[in-house]
Structure formats: C-alpha cells, structure tokens
Chain A
C-alpha cells in the first residue's frame, strides 16, 4: 500500500542559526533562534504553531521551546530516533500530523552544541546509561566506538566489493567543499583544498581521512510545515512534500549492521527510496538536485545508488564526470553539505533542499529545480523526502 500523503503538507519556512565551533549559548537558545528565523521566513508567528517534531537526541524539550518562543496550545509533538537517521523523519512526523489534521502548523527543529558540548567524534562510552548500552558493548571493548570507525568498516568492504577507490570519495568531499567555499554561512567559507591536501590529511579510521569526515558544529536549523491551503496565503512559494519515507530494514543495528549476508549495503534506504518515489509518482529521472546526508564522503555514493541515480556499484563513475557539480546531472549538497557547511544532523539539509526548490540556494544551479531530494543519515534506520514546487 502506498501512503496517501502527496502534497498534503508543505514547507513554508526555513531557518538556520549562525554555525560555529563555540556558540556560547544553550542548545535551547539555538533551537528557538532557528525556529524564530523559520517563522519569520514564512510570515508566521509562534502563536500559529500547534505541533513540533524533533530528534529523540535533541535536548530541547518541546514545552521548553514553546514557552521560550511563546507558542500556545500544541496538539502534536513527536520525535524520531536514531541520530542523523531522524533528519527527514522530522518531516515524516510533521507530514503525518498535518495530513491527518492532527495539527495545522508543525515546526521541525534540531539544535546542538556539537563542537563545544557533546562531540560525536569522541565516540560512545561506558558511561552511557541508555538501553542501547548493551549494543555498544559488543564494540567498545575492541575500540570500535566512533562513527568514523563504524563507517570505515562498511566502506572498506564496499570498496573491496565494487572496486571503487578514493577518487570517488575525493570528488564527493571536493564538490561539497567547493560549494561550501562559496557559501558565506558555511564554516569553510573561502577555504577549499586540492587533491594533494586531501591526501595529506591525517587518517581517522581506514580508509577515511579527515576530509572524508563531516565537521562538528554548534547551531540549529528549523523547518515549518503546514497545509497547502494555508501555504498559498504565506510569504514564500510553498515547497510541497511529494513523498517522505523512513525505514528500519531487517537485521538493522545502529551503525553496526554487520550481521547481514552482505553488510556493505543500505537496504533500508533502498526501501525508503522506493516508498517515497511511489508516494510522489516520481522517479530518479524527475529529481533535479539533491541534498544527500554526508556525515562521511562514501555514504553519499551509496545513497546515489539507493535512490536510483545510477546502478549498484556505479556511483564512482557517476560522480567522476561532475554529476554533483552545479552544471552536472544532480547538483548535490550545494550548501557545502555537512562536510563543509555545518553538521546540524541533516536538518540544515532540509533547509537547503527547500531553497533549491525555491530557487534561492547560494549555489543555485542554472537549470530549473522542480524537484529536490533530501535524505537522512545511513547505517541506521533512515529515510528521505522528495520536495517539489507546490504549484508547478
């Protein structure tokens, strides 16, 4: 059964805070700043908000956000789990709430002091008291306890299986950096690198070197979702959610699905892709630009394959000729991605995908962008959304 959600929820406002390595303010402060910016962008006020969606990882409680912002009564508040896998799942939550009438205007937000506060690169530790401590216990004693090490393990096997080498990882990192260098909001604004510099960076966990890894950032991002009827009365051209899907596939673990028959694969994203395409009635051929979750360079390649932009094992050839560039087949991560703009757990990616459809990206491609893809983190339960102009 295909979910009947096409064009029933619309993005009408987006906002980011400043991105930095040391915000000097609380995560709650970042959250409300991002949301206020997104509301201003939409021409809405906090009083218009009646729903919220964020990450289970987010430390800013909905009711704290509501009180700080001056939001009134809320009829919906839902959270999505699994770190960056929740990026587009916030849209998934908002879409379900708006499409069913559970709420009219839902804010999706994520704010973190990812550099000055808790840093993901430090890895998991024996101190965690959550229910998944037992899960990490199968890896921590061996030293396999950072995101880069988990992704390194998948990447090594994937490169072995496909014969794809570091040229492809470089092109993902380099194209993101070139976009970021041109984006004044990006941390790496004005700073690019060449192949020799890329190769000279320190090894993090084989085969991943420093520039294959995203930054750690302080910042917040927010997206406002409402009904198409309401959207048509607002400031910005509406960006409709044509399809949005999430998936936790069989034998999934959190970053460590090492027990499948072939674990150098992301079946959960293939399923989410096929669901989102089915909802929207679109195919890869209809997608004009993309924001593909890039905590690490190789995961962009896997997702290009999962979303059908190229065949399995062909992503190296696909990116080689500049497909991700501004004049390429699929301009991708035009804000600089999390590799070069900021790591806001993929929600800054939803902001950028919305801008691509509006035509307002700082690196807007010359061609018309009718549809843009935005995805969540992989290696975990994941998903993605197909966005398009509300009135084509």
Chain B
C-alpha cells in the first residue's frame, strides 16, 4: 500500500466507527436453569448461586442468578452460525474490509466486562452493539495491523442496565512464514517442550553424561589438585592437561540469586529461581533453588542439592533449603 492507498483505506475503515452492529434486541431465550446448568457443568463451576435453588433462596440475594460471564452468551445466534454462517452486520463488513486489504489475521486481544446488575431466572437479556473505535496503524508482534473495539451494552426487560462489554480485536497482515504454515496440514500431536539442553562437546560432555546418571562432578587437575568449574581442557594454575574429577556432596550456600519473571520460556515452570551456589568443595555452580517460596531465597542461605529428572529429556541438579 502506498501512502495514498493507505489514506483511502483508513478513511474507509474509520467510517465504521460509531456504526451499529446490532440494535437493541432480546435474547432468544429468557434466563433459564437448563442453559445455566449446561454452562456450569462444562466450566466446572459449582457456585450454588447458579445451581442450588434452596441455597439461593436462603442467600443474601434471595434468588438464583445467571453467571455474570454468560452475559454475552444469551444473545448469541447459536446453531445457525454453523448452518448458514453469521448474519452480515457492520462488524463482519469491517472485518471484510480488512481482509480485502491483506489484513487477514484476526486476534481477540482484550475483553472487558462490567456488571451493574445480576440477572435472575426469567429475566431477558437485551443487547445492542456498536463499533466503538479503531486504532491508528500499529506494528505488533504479530505483524502490522489495526485494533478495533466493539462496545456491547446489556439491559433487561425493564430497560435497567445489566452491564457492558468492550471487545478488542487485532486485524493484522500475517507474516509470510505464518501464511505458509497455515496452508500445511499439521496433524501431529503437540510435543511438550522441554528445557533447553546444553550442547555437548569434547570439554563438557562427560559432565552432562554424569549428570544424566544423577551425579554432579567437579573437574580436578591431576597435577596440582585444583578444582575447576565449568570444565576446561587445561589447568589455569599449572597448565597440566591431565585431569580427573570428584563427586560433589551438593551441600552449598547461595552467593546470589535472581527470580525469573519475564519472558517466560516454553518448557520451564515458574516461579523459577536461579542461584550462584558455592559448593562445599569450593567451586561455584549455577542451578535452580526449589522447595521454598521464591521470596524465601536469600544470600547466605544453606542448600542441599540432588539431581532430579525435570522433564522427559532433562536431568539437572536442584537445590533445596538445607
């Protein structure tokens, strides 16, 4: 798109701001126990306010209510969406304008609902919706695109406000590789990611192999007995290339630590604390501190480690409060 085309495109999409997606319309069904029960079963929500008439009658409310999160569900079209597709409206037209111009990607990014009044059995939920705003063009992690937001307003049969919903959608140009991926059939089971493993080479493979067997070793110079970690091919003290190793007791002390909050990496479980640990043998080792709240980790804390299976592919030393 050149500047002129973009201007024309933006004039077009911004003309949708304020357009009515649907006029105030009652839901097909009044709020009723069976539909609430279907929802509660599927969501696994045992709240008696939604499902126990006896409890509800004795409660502060004095009656059963619909789950607030169902507010938008009442007005949905239902099966006709499958049979005939969605009825065209201002929102679907707007989406079509984006699609025509290459903004095929669709991502719901935010929903905000406010609830003013709880609805009870027999109430009817009315909904009306408008296109509320459209952002300027943004460079997002997904690609170049625009955010648009719809505003739905809910009321009951008396016209009393029930709540509002703001729904924000990103329409974006999918990167080329994403487009390619979407055309290929991917029927394989999802592979659960594991922690990122160390590559193994001449100088470190023996250490990781021992770790796989449950042992943490410390390299030792055969000539001057100096311990060293991480392993290296030559002793920095005496330049000997002869070495053996000892097994660590994994008793240690925290020299420093950091709790990793962001980004969260697939394959890792959070909260996650890493520490530099001074082993009783004298060398330092970086590893995780587990078995306590992250807030409890402190410099000088005494630890005892053991090698554990972390996931399908990973064995690592993990340190617990001693």
| Contact, chains A and B (beta carbon distance below 8 A) | yes
How many chain A residues sit at the interface, stated as a range, is 35 or more
Residues of B within 8 A of A156 (CB): 256-258, 299
**Per-position 1/0 for A191-219, Cβ under 8 A of B:** 00000000000111111000000000000
Chain A residues in 8 Å Cβ range of B294: 206
B258: which of A116, A122, A149 is its contact (CB, 8 Å)? A149
Nearest-CB residue, chain A, relative to B257: A156
The interface residues of chain B lying within 8 Å CB-to-CB of A202 are: 261-262
Which chain A residue has the least Cβ–Cβ distance from B230? A138
Given A160-B299, A256-B286, also A134-B262 (CB < 8 A): no
Tell me the minimal C-beta distance from B203 to chain A in angstroms: 7
Cβ of B309 to closest chain A Cβ, rounded Å = 12
A146 within 8 A of B: yes
Q: Chain B residues near A126 (CB, 8 Å)?
A: 196-197, 199
- Tell me how far the C-beta of A278 lies from the nearest C-beta in chain B, rounded to whole angstroms: 27
Contact (Cβ within 8 A) A203 B262: yes
Whether, in the assembled complex, B176 has its beta carbon less than 8 Å from a beta carbon of chain A, the answer is no
- C-alpha spacing A37/B287, complex, angstroms: 47
Q: Which of A140, A143, A144, A153 gathers most chain B CB within 10 Å? A: A143
Contact with A along B257-283 (1 / 0, CB 8 A): 111111101001000101010000001
Interface contact A141-B274, CB-CB below 8 Å: no
The residue on B at minimum CB distance from A256 is: B286
Q: Is B159 an interface residue (CB 8 A)?
A: no
In the assembled complex, the Cα of A116 lies from the Cα of B144 at a distance in Å of: 11
B201 within 8 A of A: yes
The residues of A that contact B230 with a CB separation of less than 8 Å are 135, 138, 259
On whether A152 and B258 interact (CB within 8 A), knowing A141-B196, A259-B283, A263-B276, the answer reads: yes
Q: Are B265 and A145 in contact (CB under 8 A)?
A: yes
The answer to whether B256 touches A157, judged by C-beta atoms less than 8 angstroms apart, is: yes
Is the CB–CB distance between A149 and B198 below 8 Å?
Answer: no
**A182 CA to B288 CA in the complex, in Å?**
43
Q: For residue B6, which residues in chain A have a CB less than 8 angstroms away from its CB?
A: none
A125 is an interface residue with CB less than 8 A from chain B: yes
Are B265 and A258 in contact (CB-based, < 8 A)? no
- Give the CA-CA distance A177 to B96 in the complex, in Å: 42
A290 at the interface (CB under 8 A from B): no
B235-259 Cβ-contact flags toward A at 8 Å (1 or 0)? 0000000000000000000011111
Asked if A25 lies at the interface with its beta carbon under 8 angstroms from chain B, I say no
In whole Å, how far is B207's beta carbon from the nearest beta carbon of chain A? 9
For A81, the chain B residues whose CB sits under 8 A away are none
Q: Are B198 and A140 interface neighbours, CB within 8 A? A: yes
On whether the beta carbons of A149 and B196 are closer than 8 Å, the reply is no
Complex interface bits, A176-195 against B, C-beta within 8 A gives 1, otherwise 0: 00000000000000000000
Considering the complex, give the chain A residue whose CB is closest to the CB of B269: A143
Cα(A207)–Cα(B284), bound, Å:
21
Cβ-defined contact, B263 with A143, below 8 A = no
Give chain A residues whose Cβ lies under 8 Å from the Cβ of B268. Answer: 143
Q: Which of B139, B196, B310 sits near A116, CB closer than 8 Å?
A: B139
Q: Among B198, B229, B255, B287, point to the contact of A137 (Cβ < 8 A).
A: B198
Chain A, Cβ-Cβ closest to B259: A206
The smallest C-beta distance from B269 to any residue of chain A, in angstroms, reads: 9
Give, as a whole number of angstroms, the nearest-CB distance from B221 to chain A. Answer: 15
Neighbouring B residues of A263 by C-beta, 8 Å: 255-256, 276
Cα-based distance from A143 to B229 in the complex (angstroms): 19
Q: Mark A231-272, 1 if CB is under 8 A from B, else 0.
A: 000000000000000000000000010110001100000000
In contact, B316 and A142 (Cβ under 8 angstroms): yes
Given contacts A202-B262, A204-B261, contact A157 B196 (CB under 8 A): no
B196: chain A residues at CB < 8 Å are 125-126, 140-141, 145
The answer to whether A22 and B229 touch across the interface, beta carbons within 8 angstroms, is no
**Which residues from chain A contact B226 at a C-beta distance below 8 Å?**
none
Docked CA distance A259–B255 (Å): 10
B204 within 8 A of A: yes
A140-B196, A153-B274, A259-B229 as given contacts; A264 in contact with B256, CB under 8 Å? yes
Q: Are A259 and B261 in contact (CB under 8 A)?
A: no
Min CB distance A347 to B, Å, is 24
User: With the chains together, A259 CA to B272 CA distance in Å?
Assistant: 22
| Interface residue from A140, A152, A157 paired with B255 (Cβ < 8 Å) | A157
Question: What are the interface flags for B177-205 relative to A under an 8 Å C-beta threshold, 1 for contact and 0 otherwise?
Answer: 00000000000000000011111110110
Q: Is the CB of B265 within 8 A of A123?
A: yes
CB–CB A22/B287 < 8 A: no
Closest residue of chain A to B272 (Cβ to Cβ) is A143
- Whole-angstrom distance from the CB of A123 to the nearest CB of chain B? 7
Is A47 in the interface zone, CB < 8 Å from B? no
**Smallest distance from the beta carbon of A121 to chain B beta carbons, Å?**
7
* Known interface pairs A22-B139, A258-B286; A134-B198 also in contact (CB < 8 Å): yes
Chain A positions within 8 Å of B204 at CB level: 134, 137
Known: A137-B204, A152-B258. A142 touches B288 (CB 8 A): yes
Say whether A142 contacts B256, CB under 8 Å.
Answer: no
Q: Which residues of A contact B288 (CB under 8 A)?
A: 142-143
Query: Given A21-B139, A139-B286, A259-B229, A205 and B261 touching (CB < 8 A)?
Result: yes
Q: Which of A123, A136, A157, A259 contacts B263 (CB 8 A)?
A: A123
A133 within 8 A of B: yes
When distances are taken between beta carbons in the complex, the residues of chain A under 8 Å from B265 are: 123, 143, 145
Interface flags for A41-59 (1: CB within 8 Å of B; 0: not) read 0000000000000000000
Do A141 and B198 have beta carbons less than 8 Å apart?
yes
Cross-chain contact A137 with B263 (CB below 8 angstroms) = no
- B314 CB–A CB distance under 8 Å: yes
Q: A148 CA to B261 CA in the complex, in Å? A: 10
Task: For the complex, give the distance between the alpha carbons of A121 and B203 in Å.
Answer: 28
Q: Once the chains are docked, how many angstroms separate the CA of A142 from the CA of B195?
A: 8
| Closest partner residue, chain A, to B139 (CB atom) | A22
A198 CB to closest chain B CB (Å) equals 16
- 20 intermolecular pairs with C-beta atoms under 8 Å apart: A22-B139, A126-B196, A134-B201, A137-B200, A137-B208, A138-B198, A140-B196, A140-B197, A142-B316, A143-B274, A145-B196, A149-B258, A153-B257, A153-B258, A153-B276, A157-B299, A206-B257, A258-B284, A259-B230, A259-B283
The 4 closest A-B pairs by CB, nearest first: A137-B198, A157-B256, A152-B258, A22-B139
For the A-B complex with A116-B139, A137-B199, A206-B261 known, give 15 more contacts whose Cβ atoms are closer than 8 Å: A126-B199, A137-B198, A137-B208, A142-B287, A146-B260, A148-B262, A153-B258, A156-B256, A157-B276, A160-B256, A203-B261, A203-B262, A204-B262, A258-B276, A258-B286
